[in-house]
Amino acid sequence: MANEVASARLKFARFSAYKAREVLDIIRGENAHDAISMLLKTSRGPAIPIAKVLASAIANAAQSEGLDATELYVSTCFADEGATMKRFKPRARGRASRIRKRNCHITIEVSRLTPEELEKVRSRRAAETAIRRQKRVEAARASSKAKSENSDDVQELSADTNEIVELEESLGAEGQRSEAAEKLAIDLEDELELEDSDLGRHQETPVRSEAAEKLAIDLEDELELEDSDLGRHQETPVRSEAAEKLAIDLEDELELEDSDLGRHQETPVRSEAAEKLAIDLEDESVLESDSGAEDSEVQDSDGSEG
């Protein structure tokens, strides 16, 4: 039967045996692989060299003794003091103090577990494996459930988003239609107002023209009546000036009406009638002024004779 113990030794390690024993007490009696994990997580200085010694011992057991690395544990580990190097440091008043550089020898032995312990270890590992597998399954199920929920949420969100987009598009179309309808209504109102204004101007123009003609006829009748009643009165030139002013106002009114009518067909006729009436009024005013001058001369001659 092959030997079920393997060892490894580190000599003249450059740290004290005291510091090495503090780390070795952590891994004593532990599983080999667990001991390596514990050493790698330790913050003490001797942990890394001791982990290398333990790995060497496990390799010796697997290569030389043919043991399974998973069935090994740290059966023995200790640290012996090695040679101490002495150095000196200068001090005050010419003295010197001693410096001790301590060394140690580290020995680690790994052994195969007993059948009872192996059974316990295997059952424990199987339980740990089952627990890890259960955790992985639960995590996978949870992740798949979360993904399905997320996919459902995404689908619902996408559906809601599509509904919102369709609603916004419909509202936008309705808003555009309402704006277009309002704009069309405003345009129609403006057009109707423009037509009403044009129609009103067209309807008022003949009335104004008839009123102007009637006013001119009344003015002529009034002038004739004044001439017949007053005779040789001296205020005749003043009245002629009023008639001229009235004729000018009448011309301005007719020109304004012509400008409002635009292309109306009766405009040239009305303009000629207004010009003719103005010319007649000017002629009458000239005749009246001449007759007034003659009357004044006759009165002067009568006065001189008397």
Determine the pLDDT at residue 113. 85
Distance CA 183, CA 179 (A): 6
Given 77, 98, 113, the domain boundary residue is 113
Residue 239 token pair: 């009245």
**Residue 265 belongs to some domain of the structure:** yes
The pLDDT of residue 217 is: 77
- Considering the domain boundaries, does residue 160 fall inside one? no
* 18 has pLDDT over 80: yes
Is residue 260 domain-resident? yes
**Confidence grade of residue 1 (pLDDT, cut at 50, 70, 90):** very low
Give the per-residue pLDDT at 90.
Answer: 94
- Last residue of a domain, which of 52, 80, 113? 113
On the question of pLDDT at 6 being above 80, the answer is: yes
Q: Flag whether 104 is in a domain.
A: yes
Closest CA to 212 of 148, 161, 258, 264: 258
Q: Is residue 212 part of a domain?
A: yes
Given a cut of 90, is residue 20 above it in pLDDT?
yes
Supply the pLDDT for residue 174.
Answer: 60
Q: Is residue 135 part of a domain?
A: no
Give the CATH number, domain containing residue 99: 3.90.470.10
State how far the Cα of 132 lies from the Cα of 126, in Å rounded to an integer.
10
For the cut 70, the answer to whether the pLDDT of residue 233 exceeds it is no
141 in any annotated domain: no
**Average pLDDT estimate for 115-134:** 84
Read off the pLDDT of each residue in 167-193 and give the average, rounded to a whole number: 69
Domain that holds residue 287: 194-296
The radius of gyration of the chain from alpha carbons, rounded to an integer in Å, stands at 66
Q: Are residues 200 and 109 in the same domain?
A: no
pTM of the model: 0.43
Domain tally for the chain? 2
What is the average pLDDT across 177-191?
A: 70
Do residues 15 and 108 share a domain?
yes
Predicted local distance difference test score (pLDDT) of residue 86 = 93
Task: With both helix axes pointing from N to C terminus, report the angle between 267-305 and 115-230 in degrees, rounded to the nearest 10.
Answer: 30
Choose one of 89, 113, 137: the last residue of a domain. Answer: 113
- Tens digits of residue pLDDT in 248-270: 777 777 677 666 655 544 444 45
Q: What percent of the chain has pLDDT over 70?
A: 65
Examine residue 57 and state whether it is found in any structural domain, yes or no: yes
Indicate if the pLDDT at residue 186 is higher than 90: no
Residue 191: pLDDT over 80: no
The number of residues making up the chain comes to 306
